[in-house]
A and B are shown apart, each in its own frame.
Chain A
Amino acid sequence: MRDGRLIWHSAAESKRGLNREKPRCLRWLYAGVALVCCCSILQSGSRAAPPARDASDLPNAAQEAPPTFDRDIRPILAAKCLKCHGETGRKGDLDLRTAAGIAKGGESGSIVEPGNPDESLLYEKVHDGSMPPDKKDRLSETDVAMIRRWIEAGAATDGESADSPAPTVGEHDVLPILLRRCAVCHGASQREAGLDLRSRAGLLRGGKSGPAIVPGQPEESLLIQRIRSAEMPPIKELIEVSIKPIEPAEIETIAAWIARGAPEANEEPDVATTIPDPAVTDQERDFWSFRPPVAAATLVVRQTNRVRNPVDAFILAKLEERGLTLAPEADRSTLHRRLCFDLTGLPPEPAQIEAFLADTKPDAYERLVERLLDSPRYGERWGRHWLDLAGYADSEGKREQDLPRPSAYRYRDYVIRAFNDDKPYDRFLLEQIAGDELADYEHAPEITPELYDNLVATGFLRMAPDPTWYNLTNFVPDRVDVIADEIDVLGSSVMGLTMKCARCHSHKFDPLPHRDYYRLVAVFKGAFDEYDWMKSTWNNGLSHGPRSDRDLPYVTTAERRQWESHNAALQKAIEALQVPLDELAATLTKQYQAQRIEKLPAELREDVRAMLAEPADKRTPVQQYLAEKFEKSLTIDRAELANLDADFKKRGDEASQAIASMQGKKLPEPRIRALWDRGDPSPTYIYRRGDYLTPARLVGPGVPSVLTDGKTPLDVRPPWPGAKSTGRRLAFARWLTQPDQPLTSRVMVNRIWKHHFGTGLVKTLDNFGKTGTPPTHPELLDYLATQFTARGWSIKAMHRLLVTSATYRQSSVVTLEASRIDPDNAFVSRMPLQRLSAEQLYDALLLVSGRLDETRFGPADAVDVRADGLATPRGTERGWRRGIYISQQRKVVVTHFENFDFPAMNPNCGERRDSTVTLQALHLWNNGVVQQLADSFAGRIEREAAASTSRQIERIYLTAFGRTPNDDEVQVAEDALVRLTGKWLASAPGAAPPDRAAAAHQALVTLCHAILNSAEFLYVD
């Protein structure tokens, strides 16, 4: 016995099945049937209307008399629904004012299935209480029951007829079918048989066998004939191009359209116009984060002596309201360590500390800030934050065979350099979103570093996990998933919007219509086209191997020349060996041949010589006879020559070895992993419920309406005269980087704030929408955002402003009062105690132990995996490079990184976790590399402070903690060293003579190991 819920479930499941599996044409059939039913009910309803009866006549009158639209349904809808689905708003693309609007349905398709309330979205929504969204507006049980009975009875709409014409099969029912089943071979990139099936014009033009369709005569049309005979699409070859077989219903849809005369659709893509947008209201535009930031007047505070810059005033004002103030300034050693880790990701070196502590000038701190911002280490720290947002990875992911991305590192290097150069953030975004449309690279006489950067930067939207290099995971839905991930990366990292929520339906909480998601998809269509897909095939690192479709050869002219001359030099050296060898071989061959000819009967010798001298096709019949008889035995190949001549063999082998080794040194052609517009994109349809099998309205490029006035079209134009590129992304990027764009500057300054202060002013870094948290200091956020744009989008200017504030220079000590009034530190009554990130810890371990190789940039360092799964970066001759340079494969995560919360990029990471788990303790305590580094650390201390153990202890503290130890600490450590030395001596194998020096070293190693495991090493005050 099934209960009501189960019935509901089964209905929902069958509906899900219907929407998932039935292509658009079938829905049309259903809709048609539904409408016919609807009309017949209407008619029968009007003809056989029961005589009006008093309800009291029959006890069950309520059950028997079907509700009527005008009397029973329209008032309910008017009272509860029209606010959003009527006059002023058109949420979900739904207009509930008229019968026609109800029949048309909304973005999720039809909302009423006459006779079947359990399959009707309208009923489902009001029944499960998800509509109306505001609880207090919910329909009463009586109203819900009324709607149910109305639908059960056929959903008649009384006298009002559905005034939209019955749906017919149109061009836009057919084109999506051709796109998904045929265009891969007869489309943009391939034109098999000269045929382009992506448009009506292309169908009429046809290919080498003539027009593909004969309007009005489906069975005469080649297209239909070839499909019906199962000749096309060729079923057994479909898998090679990742296409699923065409469905019978799809064939009938195409045939029906041709039968109607293959009419052209007069439908322009839906884009923003100058008419106000009914889908988003001005009230919604009034939400705080959708309004441009406005610089507030600096606030007045009592403790002006604590105000170093305007940031402090904003913070102090809130603190003073609560009877709090800033914590005292931290001591200089603490500040130095904090600033170094924060700006460069590494601890201060002893010499720097001593210099800073000795610098008594008033601007010592400010000059320290400048030094650190100028350090090349800065980009390695702050670039990493950006790589998290981009979802940087050195492999494709999603498949068992996790193919490497051998040139992804160029994007990583680009990001590091951009931060080091303080590239203005607006330019940084322009390059990453539309670098290929900034300047013509194809016809440039020279690829300058700027052109190169433009292209490398577009790697930003090439980072998502991507299985589409493989046929079986390269179907349209797989591609659409990749596109969705890239839109998610863009939305979450740059726009602070949960755009991805609008992929299947309009956003539930934010004013982001379903349509706006697909307008954004259309912006990217020239580069991400699921019907003309560029596979992420793999460049295997060989110059002649398979290559990614997504690579461009436009490295800088300088790099290309360097590569060419590198390989040319090798080629020259190879030829230098090859040519004399070939000459020798020719000479020897002649000699041995002559000897063999001498063995022939004398009378034949001359004729044979003449035959050999003559090219095969010019020989006389006699010579041909001779050739057949003797040529084979007189021909000596290299192998035979080597057998005949030991000296030649020796020289040949030596040369071959040398040549092979030089061939191995040749470098593959340098290439860039990039995103570029190829022009001629496929049309963009809204995918109902995110499913490519249910395409709905045609849309064009656009930006989220809520971030505009709703009546300004996106200004799309070709980026330069004659450009192939559509210019859509450039138009989008220019809009995104307008100074008054409400989100771009706010989202970025909030991230910068978060990395300095531990928590964002808006805590939800990726979400500035309604479900995000509102800013704790809205005026400060807007002050920073406006400063950011006013200072030319300079990120370093923001660092200067923030780290020189008194707020940043506070101590991290928590007072009782602060913990009571500001327990979460939401008002920044102190600096937070921060744990080092995975990379900070890794890099710091290497630096203090003197094993950090600061070689920058270039291909990623490999990771070795031990049989038990321990993954360790492979070292260099000098030690190990910084964590940012380690290969980031998705399926091989360095164990240290995994344990310390390095994120999996699915597709990116807006904010890292900060966990304390046992595996971290096990790692630092037992891992062999950490042991080894403790040994190196001790060795460094012995070299740098040989004089005494107290000097050594001071040096350890200075190196590891950035401060000098107090007397107690020295005492404890000295005592530990004495006792440890004794223990190591005692533990030495009995027979060996006691080695005091070795034991003292071991004791120091043990102390260093404890230091590297200590909380003070791991946390920054």
Chain B
Amino acid sequence: MSTDPIPRRSFFEQMVGGLYGASLAYLLGRDLYGDEAQHAAPVFDLRPKPPPHEPRAKAVIHLFMNGGPSQMDLFDPKPLLDKLHGTQHYEKIAGEIENLKDAGAIMRSPFKFAQHGQSGMWVSDAMPQLARQVDEIAFIRSMHTTNLTHEPAIYLIQSGKMGPGRPALGSWVIYGLGSESQNLPAYVVLDDPLGLPINGIENWQAGFLPPLYQGTRFRSTGSPVLNLRPDVERPGEIVAFERDLLSRLDQAHKVRRPGQPRLEARIASYELAARMQLAATDALDLSQETQATQEAYGINKPPTESYGRRCLIARRLIERGVRFVQLYINAQIWDNHTGLATDLKAACDRTDQPIAALLDDLKQRGLMDDTLVIWGGEFGRLPIAQLPPDKDEKKAGRDHNKNAFTTWMAGAGIKAGTVHGATDELGFAAVENKVSVPDWHATILHLLGLSHEELYLEQNGLKERLTGVSPARVVTEILA
């Protein structure tokens, strides 16, 4: 199989008039959801829809850094921390500390900052590879959120509300834009084989949108989708015969029931299932990549092997028309309550090279022009130390901080090499050009040609939006 980039839309265009036209015409025209009683209701389908505004990006890779990466140790240098190192401070911010009993003094960063690239962007020596890429990136240093505990903060950044039950960002995106691949899901989640992130499968739920818009988990090893391969392998000839038999049964059933389009949809869903089996397996076949590419992503060695695979798969999915790809890391590698110097470095070591390689690769293949790459967690960390039970300062970490964190975006529509917003002298709170989570959501939708105000589902007279009832503002300052 060729490794040439596959032009978008081609799959869709082939399908409409092609082999599966008869049944797909229904699928694409109406949906895979709903039934005859849905005429008046909004149409739910995955047909590609032109966005209401000129889009800058057509696809998204969301590198979700669950756990809360420390802004003042990676992207937001605070020289004052060196000066005030060891000063007691917790009483002034007591209401903003999760584990008050462990609160220590102000703590300087164990990492060294330097300026990089043409833009002179500050990045610490924990991320040497990303430092090479700063001229591709816009940093938002003034992010803030509303809760300092993981679960609510993750629900908020993933779905706009501090609790379960609402559609994820990716679900809203494919609800608004549809799919450009008819063989692969529009919203793919690449979770870590080592385990699910906090909030588990709720991270990619479709909430009150139909399940059609839910993220589909792709495993990066083994069978990519649950039940994609049979648990019990049977001879191909027999499978083919049964498929044919089933098709005859279902056709006969359908013919006796005219005017039931959902029966067409069901037959088509079996056909799609068969094709997804091929397409997903192909997309995840990294042996099609050159040795050099594999090495660039670090998939030949620990500790980059696992995340490198997911980054490379993300690129292959984007090439094949997947709209929204979301990458996770198991557990909480960024949640450095203790051992900041070692554990934060370890987290960087797992991800730094793969992410830098992904940016390089997207650029080389011309995919950066219509792909948006997003990096960030659910909150940031405090300028004071969090001490382990034995109060050993060498093993100190930092506690959660809802008032300041840094995220970055790169690629389509982004004004590369910029820094937006600022925190106070200690890095405790965003103070200048503050960016809320709804602002951040609005910006991502805007880049895709959507509008956070116009993308909604009406329920009981209420227009449900990703940004809810909070006012939100597109961060135009980081747009190219």
- Let me know if A498 and B100 touch, CB within 8 A: no
Q: Nearest-CB distance from B222 to chain A (Å)?
A: 6
Total contacting residues, chain B, CB less than 8 A: 81
Q: Are B235 and A915 in contact (CB under 8 A)?
A: no
Contact residues in A for B252 (Cβ distance below 8 Å): 969
In the complex, the answer to whether A915 meets B460 with C-beta atoms within 8 Å is: no
Of all chain B residues, which has the CB nearest A968? Answer: B252
Q: Are B260 and A833 in contact (CB under 8 A)?
A: yes
In the complex, chain B residues 200-256 whose Cβ is within 8 Å of any chain A Cβ: 200-202, 205, 207, 210-212, 216-217, 219, 222-223, 225-232, 234-235, 237-238, 241-242, 245-246, 248-250, 252-254
- The contact string, 1 if C-beta is below 8 Å from chain B, for chain A 482-502, is 000000000000000010010
The B15-46 residues at the A interface (CB cut-off 8 A) are 32-37, 39-40
B339 at the interface (CB under 8 A from A): no
A1015, B100: Cα distance in complex, Å? 59
List residues of chain B with CB within 8 A of the CB of A211.
none
Q: In the complex, what's the smallest C-beta–C-beta distance from A552 to chain B, in angstroms?
A: 28
Which residues on the B side are within 8 Å of A1015 (C-beta)?
249-250, 253-254, 263, 266-267
B100: chain A residues within 8 A (beta carbon) = 235-236, 238-239
Q: Which of A154-162, A764-772, A846-854 contacts B (4 or more CB under 8 A)?
A: A764-772
B88 within 8 A of A: no
Query: Which of A58-66, A91-99, A337-345, A1004-1012 is the interface stretch?
Result: A1004-1012
Complex contacts, A1016 vs chain B, CB 8 Å: 249, 253
Give chain A interface residues in 488-523, CB to chain B under 8 Å.
Answer: 498, 501, 508-509
Chain A residues close to B by CB (< 8 Å)? 6, 9, 12-13, 16, 230, 235-236, 238-239, 244-245, 247, 397-400, 465, 467, 472-473, 481, 498, 501, 508-509, 758-759, 764, 766-767, 769-772, 812-814, 816, 819, 823-825, 832-833, 835, 868-870, 890-891, 893, 895, 901, 904, 906-907, 913-923, 925-928, 931, 969, 972, 976, 979-980, 983-984, 987, 1006-1007, 1009-1011, 1013-1016, 1018-1019, 1021
CB within 8 Å for A987 and B229 given contacts A498-B460, A925-B270: no
| A923:B461 contact, CB within 8 angstroms | no
- Taking CB atoms, residues of chain B closer than 8 Å to A916 are 32-33, 262, 265-266, 269
Known: A868-B223, A916-B262, A927-B227. A1006 touches B273 (CB 8 A): no
Min C-beta distance of B107 to chain A, whole Å: 19
From A6, A813, A891, contact of B202 by CB (8 A): A891
When distances are taken between beta carbons in the complex, the residues of chain B under 8 Å from A868 are 219, 222-223, 226
- State the CA gap A700–B169 with chains docked (Å): 40
The complex places the Cα of A400 from the Cα of B149 at a distance, in Å, of 11
> How long is the Cα–Cα vector from A380 to B242 in the complex, in angstroms?
34
Q: How far is the CA of A812 from the CA of B164 in the complex (A)?
A: 38
The answer to whether B211 touches A915, judged by C-beta atoms less than 8 angstroms apart, is: yes
Taking CB as reference atom, which chain B residue is nearest A815?
B259
Q: A891–B200 contact, CB under 8 A? A: yes
How near does chain B come to A693, taking the closest CB pair, in angstroms? 12
Query: Does B292 interact with chain A (Cβ within 8 Å)?
Result: no
**Which 3 pairs across A and B sit closest by C-beta, in order of nearness?**
A906-B165, A928-B231, A771-B461
* A976 contacts across to B, CB distance below 8 A: 241, 245
Q: Which residues of B contact A247 (CB under 8 A)?
A: 95
Q: Are B163 and A398 in contact (CB under 8 A)?
A: yes
Q: Are B149 and A245 in contact (CB under 8 A)?
A: no
Complex Cα spacing A498 to B462, Å: 10
Q: Which residues on the B side are within 8 Å of A824 (C-beta)?
A: 36-37, 39-40
| B276 close to A (CB within 8 Å) | yes
Binding site for A on B (CB under 8 A): 32-37, 39-40, 91, 94-95, 98-101, 149-152, 163-165, 198-202, 205, 207, 210-212, 216-217, 219, 222-223, 225-232, 234-235, 237-238, 241-242, 245-246, 248-250, 252-254, 257-260, 262-263, 265-267, 269-270, 272-273, 276-277, 436, 460-462, 470-471, 473
What residues of A have a CB within 8 angstroms of the CB of B470 in the complex? 16
- Evaluate contact between A904 and B165: CB separation under 8 angstroms: yes
Give, as a whole number of angstroms, the nearest-CB distance from A635 to chain B.
37
Residues of A within 8 A of B101 (CB): 236, 239
B253: chain A residues within 8 A (beta carbon): 1014-1016
A922 near B228 with CB under 8 A, answer: yes
Is B211 touching A931 in the complex (CB atoms < 8 A)? no
| CB <8 Å contact, B269 and A397 | no
Cβ contact within 8 Å between A870 and B227: yes
Assess the A893–B201 pair: CB atoms within 8 A.
Answer: yes
Known contacts A239-B100, A245-B95, A1006-B238: A771-B231 contact under CB 8 Å: no
Contact in complex: A400, B248 (CB < 8 Å): no
Chain B hits for A979, CB < 8 A: 241
Number of A-B contacts (CB under 8 A): 225
CB-CB under 8 A from A906, the residues of chain B are 163-165, 207
Q: Which residues of B contact A13 (CB under 8 A)?
A: 436, 471
**CB-based contact A918/B471 at 8 Å:** no
CA distance in complex: A1019, B151 (Å): 39
Q: A987 and B238: CB pair below 8 A?
A: yes
Partner of A925, one of B211, B225, B230: B230
* Among B34, B217, B231, B277: residue with most chain A CB under 10 A: B231
For A835, the chain B residues whose CB sits under 8 A away are: 262
The minimal Cβ–Cβ distance linking B109 to chain A, given in whole angstroms, is 26
Tell me whether A812 and B257 are in contact (CB under 8 A). yes
Among residues of B, the one whose C-beta sits closest to the C-beta of A11 is B471
Contact A832 B37, beta carbon cutoff 8 Å: yes
**Is there an interface contact between B227 and A1014, defined as CB atoms closer than 8 Å?**
no
- Whether A767 touches B460, Cβ cut-off 8 Å, given contacts A758-B37, A984-B238, is yes
Is the pair B273, A925 in contact by a Cβ cutoff of 8 Å? yes
Question: 25 A-B pairs, CB-CB below 8 angstroms?
Answer: A230-B91, A236-B101, A238-B100, A239-B99, A239-B100, A397-B164, A472-B149, A481-B163, A498-B462, A771-B462, A824-B37, A832-B37, A833-B257, A833-B262, A870-B227, A915-B210, A916-B33, A919-B226, A921-B266, A922-B227, A922-B276, A926-B228, A980-B238, A987-B238, A1019-B263
| Interface pair A770/B94, CB less than 8 Å apart | no
Knowing A915-B32, A1010-B249, the reply to whether A819 touches B259 (Cβ < 8 A) is yes
User: A767-B460, A919-B216 given. 7 additional CB < 8 A pairs?
Assistant: A398-B151, A398-B163, A823-B39, A870-B227, A895-B227, A906-B207, A913-B210
Check B245 against A467 for contact (C-beta < 8 Å): no
Contact B227 A926 (CB under 8 A): yes
Q: Is the CB of A915 within 8 A of B471?
A: no
Are B460 and A772 touching (Cβ within 8 A)?
Answer: yes
Q: How far is the CB of B264 from chain A (nearest CB, A)?
A: 10
Q: A9-B473, A764-B460, A928-B232 are in contact. Are A399 and B242 (CB under 8 A)?
A: no
A972 contacts which of B210, B219, B232, B248 (Cβ < 8 Å)?
B248
Q: Which residue of A has the minimal Cβ distance to B94?
A: A245
The interface residues of chain B lying within 8 Å CB-to-CB of A481 are 163
> For residue B163, which residues in chain A have a CB less than 8 angstroms away from its CB?
398, 465, 481, 906
| Chain A residues in 8 Å Cβ range of B461 | 498, 508-509, 770-771
Across the interface, do A980 and B227 meet the contact criterion of CB distance under 8 Å?
Answer: no
